[in-house]
Amino acid sequence: MIQAMKIRKITGHIGAEITGVDLAGDLDAATIKAIGDALDEHVAIYFRDQHLTPADIERYVGWFGERLIHPYMQAVKGATYVHQIRKLPDETLNFGGTWHADFTNLTTPGATNSLYSLEVPDFGGETVICNSTAAYEALSLGMKRMLENMNAWHGYSPEYKALYAIRKTELKDQLQSAEDLDVDGEDVLHPVIRSHPNTGRKSLFINPLFTLRFEDMSRAESLPLLNQLYDHITRPEFCVRFGWEKNMLASWDNRQSMHYAVNDYPGQRRVMNRCLTIDTARPVGTAIGEIGSIPAVGLRGLEPGDIVDIHPRMGSKLS
């Protein structure tokens, strides 16, 4: 199987298209490992012309680690981990329409994000993903030295709370219950520079939607440097822009990226099935080290068809 699989790099720093593989079929261990290695290396990967059921998506995502049950979105019929992201013609706001990385407000944050396109607009609706590992590596030595001793608090930002207050009305038919998400729970501390559990490469681990402030600094004191770093991470040379087609599956590594769903298709439908994995260890950085960490579970030890079915310990902070 692996002989037929081809990986085509898309940009200089991020993104690859994988062809010659049917994700609905039975894949051998070498092919599964090659897909995981491609995600580690290229940060974002995609497959065209895939005809996948929710069960197929859950099996595929299970190759990357512990799958996440979304805290407030309903799973689609017949699935446990796959939920749907929809924007209808009469809606103005979209889902994910700001730079962010998923679930960094958890002690063990989101690890990977996978989207499968069911309905796509005639134009627009692309997803932009940036490589925060390449962005870190492009920093000056002085900036790296300063940031490696810094931590940041993650939680629900004022921007997230405002968006959720609006979106919860539009999402009412997709929510698990009528109860509001607890957006005032405890915040968590993460290193500003984290090491990737599979490759050891360092990346900037901050994002506008969940990073609140640096440790021992106020938000007002933190924002100038945070915004400077966000501008750096999202420079065009560190980004790829995925244009969606029907039956396309894309995955990206939440541990070394941010993403942005472009809201430029008024009056059209965009429907995606989404499935996420979550870290099984606290992010490791210079300042925090391995406090509270447990061995990471990922692709490397899995056999074909193996799925991790452990429900994540969500704590009080969910996104």
Which residues are marked as active site? 100, 102, 259, 274
Main-chain dihedrals φ then ψ at residue 126, nearest 5 degrees: -75, 165
Task: Region of 108 please: left (phi>0), alpha (psi -120 to 50) or beta.
Answer: beta
The rounded distance, in Å, linking the Cα atoms of 53 and 75 is 13
Closest CA to 250 of 129, 93, 77, 82: 129
CB-based contacts of 5: which residues, under 8 Å, 6+ apart? 18, 19, 20, 21, 31, 34, 35
The rounded distance, in Å, linking the Cα atoms of 119 and 248 is 10
The shares of helix, strand and coil residues in the chain, as percent rounded to the nearest 5, are 25, 25, 50
The rounded distance, in Å, linking the Cα atoms of 229 and 237 is 15
Which DSSP category does 14 fall into?
S
Would you state the structure tokens that stand for residue 156, as one six-digit string?
Answer: 């629900």
CB–CB of 277/153 below 8 Å? no
Would you state the structure tokens that stand for residue 67, as one six-digit string?
Answer: 């799958």
Q: Taking the CB of residue 118, how many other CB atoms lie within 10 A of it?
A: 16
Name the residue with tokens 């447990």: 294
The rounded distance, in Å, linking the Cα atoms of 233 and 130 is 7
- How far apart, in Å, are the Cα atoms of 286 and each of 146, 188, 191? 11, 17, 7
